[in-house]
């Protein structure tokens, strides 16, 4: 079996998004990529299978174009979004898609989440952007792949770095998050949900969309992610 | 004992709506129908009995007019709504009524839930409609049966298909959901609650009632329910 | 030891309001009354003791004026509200005070909860009223007793029956609920919290304060409480 | 090992804020101080370590200027806020920082929590104030220490007593709470979160910012904290 270790990580990630309540009703999927071989290989969960029943064998291995390399089950119906993100964002090693409650509510409202506090600034550099919606032509052509395309387009337009802004809201749909590993992608999907909860309440209490001063958000972001990071035991 | 397998399914469905938090304080009931015999038979929970204490024996079997065929206990006080739905919606095999928190809040506001995202579009074709309220004459004549009648009337008026829109909000009351089986009805009741949670937050964040573009909602609905469905392992 | 059975019921009620999340941080208390003896006796929890640690021995027995008849610990600081309610509402056998989250939010807003649906109508006949606030003179004279007095005054002013409206919101404070037994008082406190959750969301979604038509609320209330009640297995 | 008992208390406090859901994603830290020795010593959790994995050995002991006296791990990145609070608020024995959901939402909105009810009045004397934000100069000079400085400044400006108002919201950041012991600081952080939840809903329901009458809030505060306190078994 190919990629045994990555299969384990991707399996755990899929179970973890269910366990943390981010993906009720199998609304969600996680994948990871191994880029070190001759050809990059993606491991993703199969479509519509209950998380509790998943085993490493059930996972599907594909190439970067989504062609199945190993696996008896049909891959997640969102596969083409994952592979497009892997093709375009060379820095990322894992992708997580959820329909988590508050992040999805922001996505449905088509509204970016402004940076209203240091919880946000510790993980996301600036607002969490909204991509899409996907146009009628894009849906007709290739809906799932173009869901990835509208994400990438938004990042290019705003000159955003995928590792500095490790997540996005797809308008009228739900969030995607990513990271250097699939475990980090899960963490970002979970933090994104928490940020969405905080921001929802803050906005109802009258918080300004302008958010926190740049000198505070920069300090927090650099403290965790800059070259002189002081957070944690590194 | 008649309908042993259906009794098991209906029992599990009633326990499941309690376990998922959809029916606090025994505010809820599930039923199933067996249409293959000489005469269709309905299995429903008894009235006001704690879910934890229910056994298959406690369930009540009635005909399509609500006459008890088997069972020592009084059937759910909502029986006549269930039987009317079974009479009018020939496609459905199970009905679930809950007072789940957010769906009931929308019902109390008398407001249909617009299709604001793909979570909704995957399960419900268009807005989740509001039926009723039941008029003074209808209450006086036969309140419970007429609760079913106002649901059916709304579906006829809007030319809705019960399997494409597997649930409804009764104004000033609470949701009903259904499916081809009672297990599917539970799933629809649960998803309806989740959709209601998402929509509540989206609306407070300023989402437009217009909802997502038709090309997206059609794509999602057809992907799961159309003749060329690609979701899951079928 | 006096009133062994009532002590057990009151103990269980106090534990139950904690277990159901209605009284975080020991913000709550339950009492029961035995009216059949020569002199009515009240059993109430002691003040500021953790629910988990309570034993029947810890409970305090007082007369209707709050004089301790049995018990080594100081009674709940809300005792005088309970005894006043027992003196004035002869029909009730148990009183529960909580700071449950949504009911307390309505109390803090000083706003009665309108009857917006059948969940409400099944348990409370009409709006859940707001009593108080207690005036400066009343606080100075006897704050806790006068908390009871403002409740009774509101019920007299609006000609409300304590069994038809088994609970109230004290403005700027929190809810009180009651019933014919202390177990029923717990049930009413819990349903009141659920009604408060539903109504909060409904109001934010634009529900009219007018609430559901009288013919529906009357039907529901009478179905559970009227002389021809059809709900449950009675 | 120094301060064995205080290490145990601080460990338990750090675990407790995680267990109560106040500090998801290790967003939080608790410390305690021993003032009785020749030199006061602070015990604080290490930075970025998962709560579940913490042992008493992992805790870091520092002096009042944050110099490490014992401990192999790097202390919490918020250490300098804690030590400044200990230097300036001589009455306090423990400090807790969380990113709890509703208190953080108020902090992000930059809005003090008005005293809307007796739950609040029992623990906090008047509104829960907002400190900061920290200015660009203060961030550049010493961000973490100056987070403490803006808290102290707000308390001096409003002549607040740290034991009468045992917590604060830092604008665009999150709450800090304290008490005479670290266990009491945890309790105050938890009650602060509950008050924030109640106030959020009350404000959305239209509660006046003016809050409850002074004669009620004074009565409640004095009942628990005044020289003639009658609450609990003291």
- Return the HEC string of B88-103: HCCCCCEEEEECCHHH
The 10s digit of each residue's pLDDT in B78-95 is: 999 999 999 999 999 999
The 10s digit of each residue's pLDDT in C12-53 is: 999 999 999 999 888 899 999 999 989 999 999 999 788 788
The two tokens of residue B16 are 């499941």
Q: Is the peptide bond before D133 cis (omega within 30 degrees of 0)?
A: yes
Using CA coordinates, name the residue in chain B closest to A170. B117
Long-range CB contacts for residues B80-84, cutoff 8 Å, separation at least 24: B80/B142, B80/B144, B80/B145, B80/B147, B80/B148, B81/B144, B81/B145, B81/B147, B81/B148, B81/B151, B81/B176, B82/B29, B82/B31, B82/B42, B82/B44, B82/B148, B83/B42, B83/B145, B83/B148, B84/B145, B84/B148, B84/B149, B84/B152
Alpha helices in chain D (DSSP H): 4-19, 79-88, 101-109, 118-121, 136-157, 182-204, 214-225
Q: Which of B111, B172, B203 sits opposite C118 (nearest CB)?
A: B172
Please, which residues bridge with residue D61 across strands? D43, D70
Distances (CA, A) of A155 to A72, A127, A174, B135: 35, 12, 17, 54
Q: Are B169 and B130 in contact (CB under 8 A)?
A: yes
Q: Tell me which chain B residues have a C-beta less than 8 angstroms from the C-beta of C230.
A: 47, 74, 77
**Pick from A30, A125, A136: nearest CA to A85:** A30
Q: Tell me which chain D residues have a C-beta less than 8 angstroms from the C-beta of C27.
A: 119
Q: Tell me which chain C residues have a C-beta less than 8 angstroms from the C-beta of B111.
A: 205-206
- Report the pLDDT averaged over residues B143-157: 98
Q: Which of D102, D110, D134 sits opposite A216 (nearest CB)?
A: D134
Q: What is the pLDDT of residue D210?
A: 92
Q: What is the pLDDT of residue D122?
A: 95
The 10s digit of each residue's pLDDT in B198-215 is: 999 999 999 999 999 999
Kindly tell me if the per-residue pLDDT of D234 is higher than 60. no
Q: Are strands D175-179 and D167-170 parallel, antiparallel or unpaired?
A: antiparallel
The length of chain A, given as a count of residues: 234
CB contact burial D167-178 (16+ within 10 A = b; e otherwise): bbbbbbbbbbbb
Cα(C61)–Cα(C41) distance, rounded to whole angstroms?
7
Q: What backbone torsions phi and psi does residue B26 show, to the nearest 5 degrees?
A: 55, 25
Residue C227: pLDDT band by 50, 70, 90 thresholds? confident
- Report the pLDDT averaged over residues B109-132: 97
- On whether any CB of chain A is under 8 Å from the CB of D111, the answer is yes
Q: What is the pLDDT of residue A233?
A: 61
Using CA coordinates, name the residue in chain D closest to A120. D173
- Report the pLDDT averaged over residues C122-136: 96
- Report the pLDDT averaged over residues D116-144: 96
Q: What is the pLDDT of residue B179?
A: 98
Mutate to test the interface with B, among A28, A105, A136, A173 (most CBs of B within 10 A): A105
Residue D217: pLDDT band by 50, 70, 90 thresholds? very high
**Pick from D126, D158, D133: nearest CA to D147:** D133
- Among all residues of B, which ones are annotated catalytic? 122, 231
Q: What is the pLDDT of residue B29?
A: 95
Quote the minimal CA–CA distance from D156 to chain C in Å. Answer: 29
The two tokens of residue D151 are 């808290």
**Pick from A152, A151, A177: nearest CA to A166:** A177
The 10s digit of each residue's pLDDT in D161-215 is: 999 999 999 999 999 999 999 999 999 999 999 999 999 999 999 999 999 999 9
Q: What backbone torsions phi and psi does residue B48 show, to the nearest 5 degrees?
A: 60, 20
Chains that touch D (3 or more CB pairs under 8 A): A, C
The two tokens of residue A190 are 């979970």
Q: Are strands D130-131 and D167-170 parallel, antiparallel or unpaired?
A: parallel
Q: Does the pTM of the predicted model rise above 0.90?
A: yes
Q: What is the pLDDT of residue D123?
A: 96
Residue D230: pLDDT band by 50, 70, 90 thresholds? low
Q: What is the pLDDT of residue C16?
A: 96
**For all residues of chain D together, what is the average pLDDT?**
94
Q: Which residues contact A78 (CB under 8 A, 6 or more apart)?
A: A29, A97, A144, A147
Record: contact A219-D143, CB cut-off 8 A: yes
Cα(A4)–Cα(C226) distance, rounded to whole angstroms?
67
The 10s digit of each residue's pLDDT in C58-99 is: 999 999 999 999 999 999 999 999 999 999 999 999 999 999
Quote the minimal CA–CA distance from A222 to chain B in Å. Answer: 30
Is D231 among the catalytic positions?
yes
Record: contact B201-A111, CB cut-off 8 A: no
Cα(A79)–Cα(A83) distance, rounded to whole angstroms?
6
Please, which residues bridge with residue B128 across strands? B113
Q: What is the pLDDT of residue C232?
A: 61
Residue C108: pLDDT band by 50, 70, 90 thresholds? very high
Kindly tell me if the per-residue pLDDT of B164 is higher than 90. yes
**For all residues of chain C together, what is the average pLDDT?**
94
Q: Which of A119, A205, A232 sits opposite D109 (nearest CB)?
A: A205
- Report the pLDDT averaged over residues C135-161: 97
Residue A80: pLDDT band by 50, 70, 90 thresholds? very high
The two tokens of residue B131 are 């039926």
Lowest-pLDDT range, B106-110, C204-208, D25-29, D40-44?
D25-29
CB contacts under 8 A, A 7-26 vs B, are 24-25
Q: Are C129 and B186 in contact (CB under 8 A)?
A: no
Q: Tell me which chain B residues have a C-beta less than 8 angstroms from the C-beta of C116.
A: 108-109, 172
Q: Tell me which chain A residues have a C-beta less than 8 angstroms from the C-beta of D49.
A: 233
- Report the pLDDT averaged over residues B210-234: 81
Q: What is the pLDDT of residue D136?
A: 96
Is A194 among the catalytic positions?
no
Sign of CA dihedral A33, A35, A36, A42: positive
The 10s digit of each residue's pLDDT in A128-171 is: 999 999 999 999 999 999 999 999 999 999 999 999 999 999 99
In the β-sheet with C68-70, what is the strand arrangement from edge to edge? C68-70, C60-63, C41-44, C28-34, C94-98, C175-179, C167-170, C130-131
Q: Are A115 and A121 in contact (CB under 8 A)?
A: yes
Ramachandran category for residue C100: left, alpha or beta (phi over 0 → left; psi -120 to 50 → alpha): beta
Percent of residues, chain A, with pLDDT higher than 90: 87
Q: Which residues contact A89 (CB under 8 A, 6 or more apart)?
A: A152, A155, A162, A178
Percent of residues, chain B, with pLDDT higher than 70: 97
Percent of residues, chain D, with pLDDT higher than 70: 97
Of A63, A143, A219, A231, the active-site residue reads A231
Q: What is the pLDDT of residue C233?
A: 62
Q: Which of D109, D134, D140 sits opposite A207 (nearest CB)?
A: D109
- Stated as kind and residue range, the H or E segment containing B87 is helix B79-88
Q: What is the pLDDT of residue D107?
A: 98
Q: What is the pLDDT of residue C207?
A: 97
Q: Which of C119, C190, C216 sits opposite B104 (nearest CB)?
A: C119
Q: Are C86 and C166 in contact (CB under 8 A)?
A: no
Residue A231: pLDDT band by 50, 70, 90 thresholds? low
Sign of CA dihedral A131, A135, A137, A142: positive
Quote the minimal CA–CA distance from B212 to chain A in Å. Answer: 6
Of A122, A194, A219, A221, the active-site residue reads A122
Q: Are strands C68-70 and C60-63 parallel, antiparallel or unpaired?
A: antiparallel
- Report the pLDDT averaged over residues C211-229: 87
Cα(C32)–Cα(C4) distance, rounded to whole angstroms?
12
Cα(D197)–Cα(D186) distance, rounded to whole angstroms?
17
């Amino acid at each position: 079996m190919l990629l045994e270790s990555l299969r384990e990580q991707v399996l755990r990630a899929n179970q973890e998004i269910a366990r943390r309540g981010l993906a009720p009703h199998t609304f969600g999927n996680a994948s990871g990529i191994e880029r070190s071989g001759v050809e990059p290989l993606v491991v993703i969960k199969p479509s519509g299978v209950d998380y509790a029943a998943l085993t490493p064998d059930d996972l599907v291995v594909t190439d970067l174009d989504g062609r199945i390399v190993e696996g008896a089950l049909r891959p997640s119906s969102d596969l083409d979004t994952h592979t497009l993100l892997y093709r375009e964002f060379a820095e990322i090693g894992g992708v997580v898609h959820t329909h988590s409650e508050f992040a999805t509510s922001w996505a449905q409202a088509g509204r970016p989440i402004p940076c209203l506090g240091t919880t946000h600034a510790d993980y996301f550099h600036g607002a969490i952007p909204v991509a899409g919606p996907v146009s009628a032509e894009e849906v007709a052509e290739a809906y799932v792949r173009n869901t990835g395309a509208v994400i990438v387009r938004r990042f290019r337009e705003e000159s955003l770095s995928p590792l500095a802004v490790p997540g996005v809201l797809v308008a009228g749909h739900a969030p995607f998050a990513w990271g250097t590993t699939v475990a980090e992608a899960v963490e970002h999907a979970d933090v994104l949900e928490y940020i969405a909860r905080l921001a929802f309440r803050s906005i109802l209490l009258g918080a300004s969309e302008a958010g926190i001063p740049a000198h505070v958000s920069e300090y927090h972001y650099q403290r965790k992610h800059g070259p002189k990071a002081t957070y944690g035991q590194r």
